[in-house]
């Protein structure tokens, strides 16, 4: 930023002196500075124009204590190398570190993985991913968003309850265990003998009469 301001100041001064005095040297200086600024601008934007990022996320929902795993691959489709590029993750998941700084050769790619421990529950944003690069002198910096934001839901941590048993009226699925019931169950598939404690409203009287 300071280099760009300095060069712009030199350019304006050279243009002012050229218009005021007509000196050939100041005119040449203005031309050189203007060309350098234009080349730096094009260089910075060309660095990010041919970049592409692919992010692979296997999970969509996790809970506190789990690890969020993902992988990223950045590709340079240009025939020119990119000396340096900064990948920034603009999301708000605590501890998420998918971004990094790297350099890319012509028509090459780099891959990396990120593992983030989930320590806080809530709905968070992953991304967007932004890439930025500049010319060799750092006069101009170009930025580009390559991956849109996605949401991830982190649930509270769950604990095993080995001694917790559902009541018979709340059981689901098939069970070979017969228990007295005091209400209607949704799992009736056959009849059995009456047991003490069974509700009389659940007795199949036609079958009882036949027996």
Q: What is the pLDDT of residues 174-209, one digit of tens each?
A: 555 555 555 555 555 567 777 777 777 777 777 776
Q: Model pTM?
A: 0.64
Bridge pairing between strands 61-63 and 150-155: parallel
Least confident of 18-32, 161-175, 187-201: 161-175
pLDDT at residue 203 in the model: 76
Q: What is the pLDDT of residues 78-116, one digit of tens each?
A: 988 998 999 999 889 898 888 899 999 999 999 999 999
Please check the confidence at residue 35 and state whether its pLDDT lies above 90: no
pLDDT at residue 105 in the model: 92
Please check the confidence at residue 170 and state whether its pLDDT lies above 90: no
Give the span between the Cα atoms of 141 and 44, in whole angstroms. Answer: 6
Residue carrying structure tokens 């929902």: 61
- The residues near 124 (Cβ < 8 Å, ≥ 6 apart) are 91, 92, 93, 94, 151, 152, 154
The average pLDDT across 30-47 equals 85
Least confident of 18-27, 117-126, 141-150, 158-167: 18-27
- Give the percent of the chain with pLDDT over 90: 32
Please check the confidence at residue 142 and state whether its pLDDT lies above 90: yes
Cβ atoms 34, 11 nearer than 8 A: yes
Report the SS3 class of residue 96.
Answer: coil
Q: What is the pLDDT of residues 120-135, one digit of tens each?
A: 999 999 889 999 999 8
Give the span between the Cα atoms of 142 and 85, in whole angstroms. Answer: 10
pLDDT at residue 77 in the model: 92
């Amino acid at each position: 930023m300071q280099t760009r301001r300095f060069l712009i100041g030199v350019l304006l001064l050279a243009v002012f002196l050229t218009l005021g005095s007509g000196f050939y040297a100041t005119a040449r200086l203005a031309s050189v500075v203007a060309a350098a600024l234009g080349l730096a601008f094009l260089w910075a934007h060309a660095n990010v124009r041919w970049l592409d990022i692919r992010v692979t996320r296997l999970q969509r929902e996790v809970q506190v204590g789990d690890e969020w795993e993902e992988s990223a691959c950045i590709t340079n489709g240009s025939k020119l190398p990119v000396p340096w590029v900064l990948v920034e993750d603009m999301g708000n998941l605590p501890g998420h570190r998918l971004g990094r700084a790297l350099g890319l050769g012509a028509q090459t790619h780099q891959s990396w993985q990120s593992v983030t421990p989930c320590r806080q529950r809530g709905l968070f944003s992953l991304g967007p991913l932004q890439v930025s690069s500049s010319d060799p002198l750092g006069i101009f910096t170009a930025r580009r968003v390559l991956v849109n934001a996605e949401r991830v839901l982190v649930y509270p941590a769950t604990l095993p309850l080995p001694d917790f048993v559902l009541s018979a009226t709340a059981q689901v699925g098939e069970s070979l265990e017969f228990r007295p019931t005091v209400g209607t169950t949704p799992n009736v598939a056959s009849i059995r003998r009456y047991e003490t404690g069974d509700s009389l409203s659940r007795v199949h009287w036609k079958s009882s009469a036949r027996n």
